[in-house]
Amino acid sequence: MGGLARRVSYIKAFKHRSNIEVPTLLVDAGNLFTDDRYAADQLPAEVMTKNKWVVKGYGDFRHDAANISYVDLPYIAELLKKDGYSKRVEEYPFIERLVSANIQPMDDQHRAPVPYVVREITLKRGAAGEKLRVGIVGFSESKPAAIAGNSKQDVYAGFRINDPYESAKKILPELKKKSDFIIALAYMDVSSAQRLATENPDIDTIIGARQSNTMDEPQHFNRATIVYAYNQTKYLGELRIYVKGDRSIENQLNRYVALDSIIPDDQVATDLVTAAHTEFTNQQSETAQASSATTKPAALLEPAESPYIGEETCAGCHQKEAQIWDKTRHAHAMATLQKKNEQFDNECVRCHVVGYQRGGFQSLYTTPQFANVQCEECHGPGRQHASNPGKGYGFMATPVGCMQCHKEPNDPDFNFAVYWPKIKH
């Protein structure tokens, strides 16, 4: 579900359905860039590539604004470098639609992001012929602590994340003078968004985000309607605004649109995504090959270092179960990724291998023996059990355990009663 190609397709259909007489704004509430493996003030080259294509894609497909969240800061630090900024904006004009009212650089080598953008639309319904200025402002919460119990990080990637409530009180009176309708993009939890609305009566709409996998009803505080974006935009949020003849807002209705296979991929967007994918995959492959020369494969690790033993070792004692497993799709999970050239995309790989980021699979070059969804992915690391076989190992809570990967956005058709017989052993 989801993806730019379906999103673009839906947006085009949405515009055409109303004969292109309804102005449509397209926004992102944050976490559009990845900060994967950010270390020593640098993002790996392939991660930079991935993010670069997001800037291009969002620009090409006319996003009106995107909020800068704390997750975005490592790449934002690249985009907002004063050195070469004009040239960068010339190539990717969307950079100037990345907004934040509470994030500031800590040095003078970077520009501050714009706090807001204002888009003017011409109404054809309600107050037909009237123009409406829509201000879009961004806020982010601080970076959550890496270790539970520690305080949040107000500083990340060379930027300071100021208090969003204080920043809102400073910037909103200024924006109010320039806008008739204010949208706040807020990367924060629901209670924080509620506080933002309560303390700032000028906000008309808050579009929040925080990797939400639920689709709650909109909430209303002061005049603001609060809605939340769905994680990874697998469902596209659609907020319809109804305007009276005097330009006042009559109502706001929210719905979520499943971006599933019913929505065809847009060809132009597909071409862009394919180009992005190819460049990213080639770069990832080069990096993985290079690191295989310096990284010690898990197979060579001392037993104490890797808790996993791999399917072949399990099969030494559990032959019958191994034969059944070999005929399941779990046994060929990596091949399904390879068919789509996604074998280097960590977001996908984690559900197609055993022990990803837990001492098992690292990459196809260094740990090919841990590719595919093997015994230990469900039953747990088996090294200790193999050295001292006995009962007590291997319990798995179903269907909860399955739903670590077979969750609704990844596998909307998942039904334990139907799926279990396919792998029963």
Question: What's the min distance (Å) between Cβ of 57 and another protein?
Answer: 5
Count of residues in the chain: 425
Give residues 282-301 in contact with another protein (rule: CB under 8 A): none
Burial, 131: exposed, middle or buried (Cβ in 10 Å; 0-12, 13-18, 19+)?
Answer: exposed
Q: Which of 215, 351, 386, 423 touches another protein by CB under 8 A?
A: 351
Identify the sign of the CA torsion 355, 356, 360, 361.
positive
Nearest to 190 by CA among 213, 209, 165, 203: 209
DSSP state of 340: T
Question: What's the min distance (Å) between Cβ of 225 and another protein?
Answer: 10
Question: What's the min distance (Å) between Cβ of 249 and another protein?
Answer: 9
Residue given tokens 């300071």 in the structure block:
160
- The pattern of x and - marking residues 57 through 96 that bind another protein according to CB under 8 A reads x---xx----x---x-------------------------
Strands 159-161 and 219-221: unpaired
Cβ proximity to another protein: between 345 and 376 the closer is: 345
Cβ proximity to another protein: between 142 and 306 the closer is: 142
> How far is it, in rounded angstroms, from Cα 137 to Cα 116?
4
CA 160-206-171 angle, to 5 degrees, is: 50
Segment contacting another protein by CB under 8 A, of 138-146, 201-209, 301-309, 370-378 = 201-209
116 binds another protein (CB under 8 A): no
Q: What is the CA radius of gyration of the chain?
A: 24
32 binds another protein (CB under 8 A): yes
Cite the beta strand spans of 68-130 per DSSP E: 98-99, 103-105, 116-122
224 binds another protein (CB under 8 A): no
Cβ proximity to another protein: between 34 and 142 the closer is: 34
Segment contacting another protein by CB under 8 A, of 143-151, 251-259, 314-322, 366-374 = 251-259
Cβ proximity to another protein: between 20 and 396 the closer is: 20
Q: Which of 258, 301, 331, 378 touches another protein by CB under 8 A?
A: 258
Question: Strand, helix or coil at 128?
Answer: coil
15 binds another protein (CB under 8 A): yes
310 binds another protein (CB under 8 A): no
Q: What are phi and psi of 153, to 5 degrees?
A: -95, 120
Q: Which of 118, 215, 239, 386 touches another protein by CB under 8 A?
A: 239
267 binds another protein (CB under 8 A): yes
Residue given tokens 């009276």 in the structure block:
244
Q: Which of 157, 197, 272, 375 touches another protein by CB under 8 A?
A: 272
Segment contacting another protein by CB under 8 A, of 123-131, 159-167, 188-196, 372-380 = 123-131
Tokens describing residue 237: 């949020």
138 binds another protein (CB under 8 A): no
Q: Which of 148, 262, 293, 304 touches another protein by CB under 8 A?
A: 262
H or E element: which one contains 242? strand 235-243
30 binds another protein (CB under 8 A): yes
118 binds another protein (CB under 8 A): no
> How far is it, in rounded angstroms, from Cα 63 to Cα 98?
10
Q: Which of 44, 59, 126, 218 touches another protein by CB under 8 A?
A: 126
Question: What's the min distance (Å) between Cβ of 207 and another protein?
Answer: 5
Size of the site for another protein (CB under 8 A): 98
Which amino acid, residue 152? K
Give residues 371-410 in contact with another protein (rule: CB under 8 A): 409-410
Residue given tokens 């984690």 in the structure block:
350
In the chain, the N- to C-terminal Cα span, in Å, equals 30
Strands 116-122 and 131-140: antiparallel
232 binds another protein (CB under 8 A): yes
Nearest to 248 by CA among 204, 217, 206, 207: 204
